[in-house]
Structure 1
Amino acid sequence: MPIKTTKKVTNKKVVKEETKPAVEAKKEEVKPAEVKKAPAKKATTKKAAKPAVEVKKEEVKPAETKKAPAKKATTKKAAKPAVEAKKEEVKPAETKKAPAKKATKSAVKVKKEEVKPAEKKKATAKKTTKKATTKKTTTKKVTIKKMTKEEQYAKLSLDTCLDLAKAMSMNVTRDSIIQQLILNPDVKSVSKDLVNKYQLTGKFNFEEDGYDEGLVEVLVSKVYETADIKPQKAEDLQADVDHALNYKFTDVVADGEEYKAQFDTMRKVLMIAQHKDIHDSKKLDEEIGIDVEKFVEEFMDLAYSVLKTWKYEDVDYYEHFIYAVLSQLEDLHDTYRNRIMMDVADLYILHGDYGLGDADYGYILRENQIKDYIYYRYASIYEGVDKDKAKQIANQALQFVDDRFTYYPNIIAVLEG
């Protein structure tokens, strides 16, 4: 009996001394590749199996549980703790795969093989995510490339374009642009004039500000498309021109309405000449079947009469418009340039802008050798404004005019009046 006790004690010491290094090895070195190298000891007693189970509970993670080497369980009681440890740590999907009472090496191999596909799926998922992200980035880049500046401008409404024009410090409205297009129905030309007027070239950057000087042409184009400023057919103008040539001055109100109608008709005549690039009134006569020169004369007479009682701004607008007509029809410009300049100068003086009126008359007097009629017009317009200045102008005229000139008596009448 004493001899048996000595052997048991010896065995216990061996188990304790050899088991601890194995546990420590698991803590520090348990990796998928090193599991095969760890020596698997047979459990000789029930007590020797418990330390191995406790290590699993405390230190082995769910992912490592699959990879840990399974020891042969000699008894049913030794197997139960191992099963319980797995129940606590293995996910529901993995519980079904847990081995039965006896864990064999083949079971361990199966688990190792099952771990690999799972890892591959995760890796594949990561790659897929990267690809998806790359695709999204590519899509955004394509969108930016497709949406050019011109396309973005084209999508803007007229109101938005006007708001952006204000942001660019442009003092324009739809009506003011229409007026410019009436004088010159060329979108590019009007746009260029506005860019130069407000000094917009290089002032704004589309990438930084969201607009640049290119927006001006888009704005003018949208106004042109929405306004009634298209050239009219020639046959539709003939009746309007015939009515204008037969009109008789009646009163201020009726004359004002007629002026508006004739202005609109003259605008259409101008647009046809510009559209067909006609610069001679006779050629335009043949094109639209009207006497253009007579109509221009009638229109200037009516405007001179009506605008005396209208606003200063109306005079300014008329000046720009009638000069556009005469600039287009060059033969009429040579014939009527002095007359229209004196008409406009008179209207400015009557509206109190003496400086501009005097400057216009001064220019005409310098440019013409025969000055009697010009002096008479200049002096007579001041008779109803400033008689002393009228006499002063008439006295200046005597330096260049004597009884040989046609309007000498008229100048003397102003001087003595």
Structure 2
Amino acid sequence: MPIKTTKKVTNKKVVKEETKPAVEAKKEEVKTAEVKKATKPAVEAKKEKVKPAETKKAPAKKATTKKAAKPAVEAKKEEVKPAEVKKAPAKKATTKKAAKPAVEAKKEEVKPAETKKATAKKTTKKAATKTTTTKKVTTKKMTKEEQYAKLSLDTCLDLAKAMSMNVTRDSIIQQLILNPDVKSVSKDLVNKYQLTGKFNFEEDGYDEGLVEVLVSKVYETADIKPEKAEDLQADVDHALNYKFTDVVADGEEYKAQFDTMRKVLMIAQHKDIHDSKKLDEEIGIDVEKFVEEFMDLAYSVLKTWKYEDVDYYEHFIYAVLSQLEDLHDTYRNRIMMDVADLYILHGDYGLGDADYGYILRENQIKDYIYYRYASIYEGVDKDKAKQIANQALQFVDDRFTYYPNIIAVLEG
């Protein structure tokens, strides 16, 4: 078919347009019209005519249009070729490349906007995944010490129970009062409960290292810091003027004096004072008189209190006497006999007898020791009391001060 050429005058310029013939589809001919606007064909499969679709003009600045894109659609071995547009008229504007139509099978058209959204989502997802992966890689694993440091005191106590430790905050405070050194108290607890190598941090989540963390947290939160000297003077004066009354009142006074003695001990520990006379000058009280008063009250009160109270008193008073070395030399036999008597009165004869046996071996003058030993059993086991008094006669005769007292036990 011959090619027709049409002349058209636009703005005094002649624009030649060549139109190629459209492809036949089942003996029907698609006629070519004059091109006023750029035309794009849209193709439908399965024996349907090809209808040209209009392409919107795109504004341009004094330039000619570029070639339109050529869509290619295959439908049952038939190929449809769109008309080729060489030039398109424009008024001071030039169209850019026409958008390429995309045809999917089953007559569904893919929208460019949706494609962009899907692409954007994938890109965002990939970026997010990459960021997350980077975070995981760069996260630093906490050390055992850092994990322990983050534990609360209550959690530490729970873990201590899991390690079969029979401790509470108060019991640890009591140990710190006797010995304010955290490492030392921690080591004592580890040894007491035989924890060395018993637990593995990686497998159990705790080990013996937790003990020092626990003791340290108790020390930080407990009121075991030394007080000012002047705050103790009134309490000590009250203690020195107290008169024994009854079991209840004496018990309350013992608690008050125990607390005051604890504060005196802590001042001596923190100032590293080992002589009672120097401590007198530091806090302005008669320390030795106060220690004597406290021991007298404790011996009276603890006869009716629990066995555990005796055990704690023993450790506490020895801590006081160990700190003040001059008082230890003066009162060590007395305090050992006091504690031995209290154990015997609470039914622990083995420990009481062992303490008396030690004192008797360590002292040349034995009359008073035998008298104390025999007399405490008079209210518990008279036969044993007489047996002890009879044993005393191997070392004691009428030259000794307490000989008559020992004979009284034998004849009682």
- Length-normalised TM-score, structure 2: 0.70
1:381-414 CA-to-partner distances (Å, cap 9, x unmatched) read 1111111111111110010011111111111111
* Higher mean C-alpha deviation, range 159-168 or range 102-111: 102-111
1:80 Cα offset (Å): 12
Contact 1:76–1:101, Cα closer than 8 Å, also in 2: no
**CA distance in structure 1 between the aligned counterparts of 2:195 and 2:371, rounded to whole angstroms:** 46
**CA distance in structure 1 between the aligned counterparts of 2:356 and 2:86, rounded to whole angstroms:** 110
Mapped pair 1:315 → 2:305: no
**CA distance in structure 1 between the aligned counterparts of 2:198 and 2:135, rounded to whole angstroms:** 29
**CA distance in structure 2 between the aligned counterparts of 1:58 and 1:325, rounded to whole angstroms:** 112
- Residue 26 of structure 2 corresponds to 26
Change in Cα spacing, 1:363 to 1:19, as seen in structure 2 (3 Å) is farther
1:374 Cα offset (Å): 0.3
Contact 2:17–2:86, Cα closer than 8 Å, also in 1: no
1:18 Cα offset (Å): 31
Contact 1:87–1:95, Cα closer than 8 Å, also in 2: no
Counterpart secondary structure, 1:142: helix
Change in Cα spacing, 1:317 to 1:32, as seen in structure 2 (3 Å) is farther
**CA distance in structure 1 between the aligned counterparts of 2:64 and 2:80, rounded to whole angstroms:** 23
1:364-391 CA-to-partner distances (Å, cap 9, x unmatched) read 1011111011001001111111111111
Change in Cα spacing, 1:106 to 1:65, as seen in structure 2 (3 Å) is closer
**CA distance in structure 2 between the aligned counterparts of 1:33 and 1:202, rounded to whole angstroms:** 97
* Higher mean C-alpha deviation, range 54-63 or range 195-204: 54-63
Change in Cα spacing, 1:17 to 1:212, as seen in structure 2 (3 Å) is farther
Change in Cα spacing, 1:163 to 1:68, as seen in structure 2 (3 Å) is farther
Contact 1:345–1:356, Cα closer than 8 Å, also in 2: yes
Structure 2 residue runs without a partner (length 5+): 93-97
**CA distance in structure 2 between the aligned counterparts of 1:275 and 1:81, rounded to whole angstroms:** 95
1:101-131 CA-to-partner distances (Å, cap 9, x unmatched) read 9999999999999999999999999998899
Please point out which of 331, 347, 367 is paired with 1:336: 331
Change in Cα spacing, 1:108 to 1:376, as seen in structure 2 (3 Å) is closer
1:184 Cα offset (Å): 1.7
1:35-63 CA-to-partner distances (Å, cap 9, x unmatched) read 9xxxxxxxxxx999999999999999999
**CA distance in structure 2 between the aligned counterparts of 1:32 and 1:410, rounded to whole angstroms:** 146
Contact 1:280–1:330, Cα closer than 8 Å, also in 2: yes
* Higher mean C-alpha deviation, range 4-13 or range 287-296: 4-13
Change in Cα spacing, 1:61 to 1:122, as seen in structure 2 (3 Å) is farther
Change in Cα spacing, 1:405 to 1:98, as seen in structure 2 (3 Å) is farther
Change in Cα spacing, 1:206 to 1:59, as seen in structure 2 (3 Å) is farther
Q: Which structure 2 residues correspond to residues 18-417 of structure 1 after superposition, within 5 A?
A: 83=73, 85=75, 136=131, 140=135, 144-145=139-140, 147-417=142-412
1:309-362 CA-to-partner distances (Å, cap 9, x unmatched) read 111111111111111111111111111111000000101111111111111101
* Higher mean C-alpha deviation, range 355-364 or range 121-130: 121-130
1:202 Cα offset (Å): 3.0
1:219 Cα offset (Å): 1.5
Contact 2:43–2:51, Cα closer than 8 Å, also in 1: no
**CA distance in structure 2 between the aligned counterparts of 1:69 and 1:320, rounded to whole angstroms:** 100
Contact 1:32–1:67, Cα closer than 8 Å, also in 2: no
Counterpart secondary structure, 1:191: helix
Contact 2:299–2:342, Cα closer than 8 Å, also in 1: yes
Change in Cα spacing, 1:106 to 1:245, as seen in structure 2 (3 Å) is closer
1:251-277 CA-to-partner distances (Å, cap 9, x unmatched) read 111111110000000111111111112
**CA distance in structure 2 between the aligned counterparts of 1:169 and 1:80, rounded to whole angstroms:** 84
Query: Sequence identity of aligned pairs in percent?
Result: 97
**CA distance in structure 2 between the aligned counterparts of 1:358 and 1:193, rounded to whole angstroms:** 26
1:230-254 CA-to-partner distances (Å, cap 9, x unmatched) read 2111111111111111111111111
1:145 Cα offset (Å): 3.0
Contact 1:66–1:112, Cα closer than 8 Å, also in 2: no
Contact 1:191–1:216, Cα closer than 8 Å, also in 2: yes
- Residue 95 of structure 2 corresponds to none
Q: Which structure is higher in helix share?
A: 1
1:6 Cα offset (Å): 38
**CA distance in structure 1 between the aligned counterparts of 2:212 and 2:27, rounded to whole angstroms:** 77
Q: Which structure is higher in strand share?
A: 2
Change in Cα spacing, 1:243 to 1:14, as seen in structure 2 (3 Å) is closer
Contact 2:377–2:384, Cα closer than 8 Å, also in 1: yes
Contact 1:61–1:89, Cα closer than 8 Å, also in 2: no
**CA distance in structure 1 between the aligned counterparts of 2:224 and 2:296, rounded to whole angstroms:** 24
* Higher mean C-alpha deviation, range 107-116 or range 351-360: 107-116
How many residues of Structure 1 are paired with residues of Structure 2 in the alignment? 407
1:150 Cα offset (Å): 3.0
**CA distance in structure 1 between the aligned counterparts of 2:285 and 2:150, rounded to whole angstroms:** 42
**CA distance in structure 2 between the aligned counterparts of 1:206 and 1:90, rounded to whole angstroms:** 76
Change in Cα spacing, 1:154 to 1:99, as seen in structure 2 (3 Å) is farther
Contact 1:67–1:108, Cα closer than 8 Å, also in 2: no
CA RMSD in angstroms, aligned pairs only? 10.9
